[in-house]
Amino acid sequence: MPQDHPKKEAKEIKFFTEYGDANRYKVLEVIGRGSYGVVCSAIDMHTREKVAIKRIHDIFYHASDAIRILREVKLLRLLRHPDIVDIKHIMLPPSKKEFKDIYVVCELMESDLHQVIKANDDLTREHHQFFLYQMLRALKFMHTANVYHRDLKPKNILANANCKLKICDFGLARVAFSDTPTTVFWTDYVATRWYRAPELCGSFSSKYTPAIDIWSVGCIFAEVLLGKPLFPGKSVAHQLDLITDLLGTPSSETIAGVRNEKARRYLSEMRRKSAVPFSQRFPNLDPAAVRLLQRLLAFDPKDRPSAVEALADPYFKGLAKVEREPSCQPISRSEFEFERRKLTKDDVRELLYREILEYHPQIRDDYLNGTDTTKLLYPSFTGHFKSQFTYHKENDGKSAPVLPLERKHFSLPRSTVCTNLVSPDREPVRRNPKACNNSVGLPDRRFGNPSKTHPPPKVPVAANLGRVVGPVLPMMSVICQTLDFGRHVLDHVACDCSSNTPLDRYTIRSHVKPCTKSRKRRHQTPTLVCSRRNVGQCRVFSTTKSETALNGITGGPQPFLELTKESKSPISSTNLFEVVADDLQKLNQNLLSMVGKENPALVSAAQRIFGAGGKRMRPALVFLVSRATAGLVGLEDLTVEHRRLAEIIEMIHTASLIHDDVLDDSDMRRGKETLHQLYGTRVAVLAGDFMFAQSSWCLANLENLEVIKLISQVIKDFASGEIKQASSLFDCEVELEEYLIKSYYKTASLIAASTKGAAIFSGVERDTTKKMYEYGRNLGLSFQIVDDILDFTQSTKQLGKPAGSDLAKGNLTAPVIFALERDPKLKDIIESEFSEPGSLDEAIGIVKSSGGIERAQELAKQKADLAIQNLQCLPPSAFRSALEDMVTFNLERID
């Protein structure tokens, strides 16, 4: 490394290796995280330019995903244009036969158009015009190359504060060649229904045209004008209804050209609708913008203008001359010959490796000439990068928010959200409108200048990029709790140090010289921090001064220790809450007394419900948190409020189960007949209502307004969760974030209230109370995700209900959402509502084979890690250990 570089702090670990051109980049921080990789911002030390670097990992896990990446990197190399995101560099792997990850260097963008629209309700006419102008200019370039994007939407259009837009995400794009007889072989699946052209909604056409992108741009333009989506359909049928509500029923000629029989019949049988004049529907918008919008959103693709024709519209008068906007030569068929044949993973690896070599001309020439020397230039490159990216993912994310999990499919970087990232408790940075970069229309000498002679008459002021806050990445460094030293030599250390389940214990053997503690000082147990670097090693350093701990080691190189995972017996449900067994026994005795004796039928029902057993997990969490926090404030025993809270929580939980059984028409609960099967729906509903009411009465008598509000919100969340679930059945557009919100309402909300309420009654500091809430929230989410995994992995006998029952009802859970990203065929099966015999079994098979289960398991482990981190504020005790064991027990249910 050059000597003039500033000296790094001791705690900083290099991001790049000393090999090749990797040390050309100085990594700053993690700025994004998607389903398939991590994005870091960096500085190119040669050009001093900020860039985004994304690691796309395990790229060949599915050949279809690798082909999508290959297609995208190839297209972005061929489509060099100022309004299309630019790949600047792709790091060279050590060998084409072994690499699994790739590192892509792109230009760094600050946000995307979706966030810009959300954050700005005062965009001007100049904003509207300039945004559309850039999108159409990019489409002209793409379409003259015969490339159809097919997935244009606000989230796929990156944005900077100076109003510069760039189109990204070409994973679903296709190239049309002149002799291609049909494009039916293209999948009709695109990621977001709201921006999907009518001919894609119903598989109308036998040969798609660039008009599918024109429609999408029209929908995006409408959203820019209105501040909200124009056609937010909940299903294909609903989407077509919304479209025809505005455009009217298509003509008989248009309907006759529909190739899909079901779609043709649907349109023919549709109630006749008259078109609504756009000037009437949008009376307060710029008339010129409305007229162009109406042209872009013609139902028949033949009636939509091309990008060139749209740019010539009077709406852009004075902005640019169409003929001066750059075009692209049609892409050669040889570039995409691979699309016509079936490829193995090795075939795709070879093609992708050759694509990477396009960014290394000298090595490419050597490779093509048979003199490949890359093994000498880049030894062990991938292994080093993998550990370095892992380090930054785990550590940088601790202090900076990251992007939400919003990727819909395997794709290249969404290098968004850098300077606009703010923490939830800080005000977002306000930009000075006068500080807008006026060089938006300056020439780009590489590609020609789209705005060289006719720059925009008014450069729009800087748009607010929005407030994007995502989950904080966990830092996988923990303080060792158990240290075992010999008399004079560091020999073994047992610590919690795991990538996903921090409770795994490891035996660590030192590989340093013997170390004698200072005899002049009083012996104390040194505290070590073990920061895991890879599967087999752990970096150890002292958290105290060198003269008081591990004298002789901390002054020199930090030692590396080998890790050997210890075998351990799984946690069972019988001993999980052993430390609060007496508290749970008292709880069981008190539950029946809370019901009262006024109504014999209700007493009988209550005896059956509470006598059915169950783990009593929620009240147990109340007891565990109560006792774990008691030591912080000097409490010797639980208060009356602690015990009453546990009883209230269990009653609310039981009432929700009664109502769930009625809604789901379930026959069995905990191995016994459900209440509505025994006593009828009327009695069951009233029993649930009574328990909600009784728990509310007891809650009010606690006379703690904060806890009353907390628990009351839980009851509201139950209803919100059921409504959300009912409104999204069979909806393949449901995103992971929506699923997590619904899971919070239905499961995690009550668990989080249990742990937070217990901390409130202990009287601990507000920061500790907040951490107990986060522990419960993340534990609850992890529990729900594991439950949803078990719906696919366990048998009907184990579940007590048919396997895949949630999917059969149209409830799309985490494994299904992840599987939809990998296999578009699953979407068609689900939207048919399993009307074909055997289609449900086929859908379950796709979920299992597409990695949906594994990725859901990773998500459950992420939430588990976050739960564990929030327990670090508690002093070590048997109760804290039980809270940790609760997290481990949940994850072990999958095994």
User: Where do we find the tokens 């939809």?
Assistant: 820
| pLDDT band, residue 627 (cuts 50/70/90) | very high
Verify that 518 and 643 share a domain, yes or no: no
Do the domain assignments include residue 135? yes
Give the pLDDT confidence score for residue 147 in this predicted structure.
Answer: 94
Average pLDDT of the segment spanning 458-481: 37
- Between the alpha carbon of residue 338 and those of residues 71, 182, 327, the distances in Å are 10, 17, 25
Distances (CA, A) of 180 to 83, 145, 200, 425, 761: 28, 15, 19, 55, 71
Do 537 and 608 belong together in one domain? no
Q: Kindly write down the DSSP assignment for every residue of 226-283, as one continuous string.
A: HSS-S---SSHHHHHHHHHHHH-SPPHHHHHT---HHHHHHHHHSPP-PPPPHHHHST
Residue 32 pLDDT class (50, 70, 90 cuts): confident
SS3 761: helix
Average pLDDT value for residue range 570-583:
77
Same domain, 630 and 618: yes
- Answer yes or no: is pLDDT of 853 > 70: yes
Q: Examine residue 232 and state whether it is found in any structural domain, yes or no.
A: no
170 belongs to a structural domain: yes
Q: Which residue's structure tokens are 């009593």?
A: 616
Mean pLDDT over 675-700 rounds to: 79
Q: Per-residue pLDDT for 804 more than 70?
A: yes
Residue 632 lies in a domain: yes
Q: Is the pLDDT of residue 383 over 50?
A: no
Residue 531 shares a structural domain with residue 587: no
C-alpha 822/C-alpha 156 separation (Å) is: 18
- In this prediction the pTM is 0.50
Return the pLDDT at 55.
83
Last residue of one domain, picked from the residues 515, 541, 565: 565
Instruction: Of 3-17, 80-94, 271-285, 472-486, give the lowest mean pLDDT range.
Output: 472-486
- For residue 64, the model assigns a pLDDT of 75
Provide the domain limits for residue 672.
578-892
Q: By mean pLDDT, which of 336-350, 732-746, 772-786 is the weakest? A: 336-350
What six digits make up the tokens of 724? 């959300």
Question: What CATH number has the domain bearing residue 386?
Answer: 3.30.200.20
> Which of the pair, 349 or 546, is modelled with greater confidence?
349
Instruction: Tell me what the mean pLDDT of segment 358-385 comes to.
Output: 58
Residue 243 domain flag: no
Phi, psi of 150 (to 5 degrees): 70, 0
589-598 long-range Cβ contacts below 8 angstroms, 24+ apart: 590/643, 590/647, 591/647, 591/650, 591/651, 594/647, 594/651, 594/694, 594/698, 595/690, 595/691, 595/694, 596/694
738 token code pair: 């929506």
Same structural domain for residues 394 and 441?
yes
Is 140 annotated as belonging to a binding site?
no
Name the residue with tokens 């529907």: 281
Interatomic CA distance for residues 503 and 885, integer angstroms: 8
Which residues are within 8 A (CB) of 230 and not within 5 positions of it... i.e. 6 or more apart? 194, 219, 222, 223, 246
Is 427 found in the same domain as 464?
yes
> Rounded distance, CA 788 to CA 857, Å?
10
Residue 600 sits in a domain whose CATH number is: 1.10.600.10
Distance in angstroms (rounded) separating the CA atoms of residues 657 and 671: 14
Cα end-to-end span (Å), the chain = 46
Judge if 317 and 382 occupy the same domain: yes
Cross-sheet strand order for the sheet of 165-167: 111-112, 157-159, 165-167
Residue 356 near residue 102, CB atoms below 8 Å:
yes
What's the pLDDT score for residue 595? 66
Question: Which DSSP state fits 500?
Answer: S
In the chain, helix, strand, coil percent, each to 5?
45, 10, 45
Question: Which of 110, 117, 111, 735 is closest to 407 using CA atoms?
Answer: 735
- Domain assignment present for residue 239? The answer is no
Residues 457, 506 within the same domain: no
> 497 and 386: one domain?
no
Angle between helices 766-793 and 852-869 (to 10 degrees): 160
Q: Token digits for 451?
A: 């705005």
pLDDT recorded at residue 91: 87
pLDDT (mean) for 162-191: 69
Average confidence (pLDDT) over 60-73 = 84
Give the pLDDT band of residue 507 (cuts 50, 70, 90).
very low
pLDDT for 340 equals: 78
676 pLDDT exceeds 90? no
For residues 377 and 362, the answer to whether their CB atoms sit within 8 Å is no
Are residues 561 and 672 located together in one domain of the fold?
Answer: no
pLDDT value, residue 218: 97
* Residue 23 in this model has a pLDDT that exceeds 50: yes
Contact of 516 with 552, CB cutoff 8 Å: yes
Q: What is the mean pLDDT of residues 97-121?
A: 87
Instruction: List the structure tokens of 205.
Output: 């056409």
Residue 822 is encoded by which pair of tokens?
Answer: 């990998």
Highest average pLDDT, of 129-143, 491-505, 567-581, comes from: 129-143
**pLDDT over threshold 50, residue 844:** yes
Please report whether residue 200 resides in a domain: no
Q: What is the pLDDT of residue 448?
A: 37
Backbone angles phi, psi at 247, to 5 degrees: -90, -10
Of residues 541 and 708, which shows the higher confidence score?
708
Question: Torsion over CA of 212, 214, 215 and 221, rounded to 10 degrees?
Answer: 150
pLDDT at residue 463, rounded to an integer: 53
Both 525 and 639 in one domain: the answer is: no
Among 316-320, 324-328, 753-757, which stretch is predicted with the lowest mean pLDDT? 316-320
Please report which residue ranges of 274-373 form alpha helices under DSSP H: 278-281, 287-296, 307-311, 345-357, 361-368
pLDDT for res 590? 80
The Cα–Cα gap between 341 and 318 comes to 48
pLDDT value of position 420? 31
Q: Give, in order, the Cα–Cα distances in Å from 529 to each of 238, 476, 542.
A: 56, 10, 6
More confident site: 611 or 454: 611
323 pLDDT band (50/70/90 cuts)?
confident
pLDDT at 776 over 60: yes
Query: Hey, what amino acid is at 517?
Result: K
The pLDDT confidence band at residue 339, using thresholds 50, 70 and 90, is confident
Q: What is the pLDDT of residue 541?
A: 39
pLDDT tens-digit readout, 514-536: 333 333 333 333 333 333 333 33
Q: Report the mean per-residue pLDDT for the chain.
A: 73
Q: Are residues 131 and 171 in the same domain?
A: yes
At residue 88, the 3 state secondary structure works out as strand
Burial of 457 from C-beta contacts in 10 A (0-12 / 13-18 / 19+): exposed
Question: Which of the listed ranges 29-43, 401-415, 451-465 does the model predict with the highest average pLDDT?
Answer: 29-43
Euclidean distance between CA atoms 726 and 730, whole angstroms: 10
Q: How many domains does the chain have?
A: 3
pLDDT of residue 394: 54
Least confident of 341-345, 572-576, 642-646, 866-870: 572-576
- Active-site residue list: 151
Final residue before a domain boundary, out of 523, 544, 565:
565
What backbone phi and psi angles, to 5 degrees, belong to 117? -65, -45
Distance (Å, whole) CA 295 – CA 305: 7
**328: in domain:** yes
Q: Cα–Cα distance between 332 and 102 in angstroms, integer?
A: 25
**Residue with the larger pLDDT of the pair 841 and 796:** 841
Cα–Cα distance, 423 to 420 (Å, whole number):
10
Q: In the listed set 454, 473, 492, which residue is the last one of a domain according to the structure?
A: 473
- Highest average pLDDT, of 134-143, 453-462, 828-837, comes from 134-143
